[in-house]
Amino acid sequence: MNIKSQPANILLDMHTKFSKLPVLFRERVCEECNYSTPTFYRKMRGIDRRVEGKLIQALSNAEKEKIKEIAEEVTDGLSSSILGAEEK
């Protein structure tokens, strides 16, 4: 086991990885769905607007599926990163 390959502080290392997760998720969704950051947060509200008294859903079915895929990719990346830290 190589001491240099281990993070100096595992708590700091894990906290940093978890802290970066929301930003990474938002950036990936914005990139894949062609959203600006304000659009990302507006879409989080669930209901976009009222048109002639009808509620318009903020997300299409395609957007919902893409967001699920991105969430899975991001969490898989986090899991791999954590497992990699355990192996060192």
Cβ-contact 37, 27 below 8 angstroms = no
The model's pTM is 0.76
| Count of the separate structural domains present in the chain | 1
Strand partners, 30: none
Cβ-contact 19, 7 below 8 angstroms = no
Structural domain containing residue 78: 10-82
CA 68 to chain centre: 10
1 within a domain of the structure (yes/no): no
2 within a domain of the structure (yes/no): no
76 within a domain of the structure (yes/no): yes
48 within a domain of the structure (yes/no): yes
pLDDT tens string 23-78: 999 999 999 999 999 999 988 887 666 667 677 778 999 999 999 999 999 999 98
Q: How far apart are CA 14 and CA 19, in angstroms?
A: 9
pLDDT value for 81: 82
67 within a domain of the structure (yes/no): yes
pLDDT value for 83: 77
